[in-house]
Structure 1
């Protein structure tokens, strides 16, 4: 059953990125992408020399050669094991860090181990993140990290997905103390992420108190797991939750002064979105859906070209903006417009010229 669910997730996620062949259902909730409401003020003499630009990023004791990573997707079935293999090859060829999907299937059935360990086998010298849900025990967390010789552990929060999932969890009150126990038990940095519904500033502050090292705000605008799980139901009666959550830009702004290094994923479509997220305070940016789509439609070579192009364009945009490092983008002048500006005003988020953001 778990393997079938994982294959369903891949199929339905891929379908979300396919060009629409027919009009959307009249009642279908479309998620706007608030990255389009983040605009840079163009200063014509700000540009620097490309050779002076470095993509290296550091946060929470972690050193990555680029501020881009392949975020958690899959694992747990023969088909998803093949996808993890190909993703790992692309990560190796481009130098990207990579996270596996949830390793819960491995904890339930050790026979699925190879569908996850293939990531380390194909990316032996790279930065690999194991991934578990917040209900895992410290012993399970150590097993997951050990299987991959992982450099960090991702813990995902997915209450919305579990709520809509037909066979999902229905008890969440033990998650916070469980995260604290895991953070104290493993010897690698712990990064907590959402799965597309965003981490608020209040949540990030709580994560800091639990001993977490970094937070991936993972907001809306990308793969919609409420829609995926609703499509798996006998009756798709949770359609009204498909627009739930915070966008990635909104979550970054809500959490930017909460005391934890921030990562960003969710709704990242191209290099300009990466630069926007870094300007709003992220140390690195993850993508899943665009990379999965390219891999399934064109194979490993196409994905390598896709990532290589993104890194080339990222360097070009940093050159244009005069940012020698990813962190320097946080000092660029940024304007917030539309519903994102309204969100900041409604939340009482102060924007300062020192940080370059103006509502």
Structure 2
């Protein structure tokens, strides 16, 4: 039954990508163009460190699937794409493996096809410490993702209904495992309050996983008889709004996923404070519709175009995008004002900017 559900999730996720996109709020973030800000392309480097480990670029293939023959093949192809492009990759939820270890190969292939890459195991917040250790060992994982998906579980016909134990279990896992812990939402966003708590719990990185990408409330509603949870499909905060909400928190690395659809969205997320960005649904559709070679080409093009954007913006490293002036408009500006964030301050961040507009 779990394997069938995993196959359903892939099918519905790809269908969403083909049908069109929910608003991701990235369109409400624009770089203020400075015509003489550009630098030499040769001086731009995408490499950085995340959780103390080197990454070739501020981009990763986020957790998607596993647990069935079909999803094992998808993981194989995703792992090949990660190997060929140097991107880190995360597994999908490994709950199916905990329930039935005969599906182990559908996850283990991520390491088998990508022996030297950065691989993250993915577990839910109810996983025991022993289960997390099994997951890490199976993938020889460099980090473990704990996904938070209360809204998905509530809408899921066979989903969990008990979430009170999540905080304590996250603390136990963080204290017990020997690899960095990343906590991620699955598409409804992490608030400032949540990320602050995760930092206090010792979590290494938080992936805000905001609204705008794969909509798991819609997926699970489509699996329900009667589809009576349509009202939940717009739940949560966008990735952009989440990044703004946590922009001044220190002591925890911030990652961004949810609705990242282009190299420009990657640059926007980095400029809003993300250390790196994750992509799942967009890459999955390309893989399913066009194949592994097309996905590799897409990722290579994204990395090249990101470096070109940084050249125009005058950012030698991903961190230097934090100096770029941004114009926040529409719903994003409204969110800022409601959360006590000054949207105008983002348009005067570059070294030569000044609120004296006509000097």
* TM-score grouping bracket, smaller chain normalisation: over 0.9
Match of 2:41 in 1: 50
Asked if the contact 1:227–1:239 (Cα under 8 Å) also holds between the matched residues in 2, the reply is yes
Match of 1:185 in 2: 176
Instruction: Give unpaired runs (5+ residues) of structure 1.
Output: 21-29
C-alpha distance after superposition, 1:290-335 (max 9, x if no partner): 1000000011001011101101100100001010000110110011
C-alpha distance after superposition, 1:156-207 (max 9, x if no partner): 0000000000000000010000000000111111000000000011100010
Question: Please, which of 157, 167, 178 is the counterpart of residue 176 of structure 1?
Answer: 167
Asked if the contact 1:201–1:254 (Cα under 8 Å) also holds between the matched residues in 2, the reply is yes
Would you say how many aligned residue pairs link Structure 1 and Structure 2?
A: 349
Counterpart secondary structure, 2:183: strand
Matched, 1:276 2:274: no
Question: Please, which of 316, 335, 342 is the counterpart of residue 327 of structure 2?
Answer: 335
Question: Please, which of 60, 77, 91 is the counterpart of residue 86 of structure 1?
Answer: 77
Match of 2:244 in 1: 253
Q: Deviation at 1:32?
A: 1.9
Match of 2:137 in 1: 146
C-alpha distance after superposition, 1:199-250 (max 9, x if no partner): 0111000101111000000101110000000000011000000000000000
Matched, 1:132 2:113: no
Distance 1:325 1:254 in 2: 23
Consecutive aligned runs of 4 or more in structure 1 exceeding 3 Å deviation: 350-358
C-alpha distance after superposition, 1:51-110 (max 9, x if no partner): 100001223313211100000000000000000000000000000000000011111101
Distance 2:19 2:54 in 1: 37
Match of 1:12 in 2: 12
Match of 2:288 in 1: 296
Matched, 1:326 2:313: no
Q: Deviation at 1:19?
A: 4.0
Asked if the contact 1:264–1:285 (Cα under 8 Å) also holds between the matched residues in 2, the reply is yes
Match of 2:158 in 1: 167
Instruction: Give unpaired runs (5+ residues) of structure 2.
Output: 355-359
Distance 2:106 2:246 in 1: 34
Distance 1:355 1:83 in 2: 42
Q: Deviation at 1:355?
A: 4.6
Counterpart secondary structure, 2:162: coil
Matched, 1:267 2:280: no
1:184-203 alignment runs, 5 A limit? 184-203=175-194
Asked if the contact 1:39–1:334 (Cα under 8 Å) also holds between the matched residues in 2, the reply is yes
Matched, 1:64 2:55: yes
Match of 2:357 in 1: none
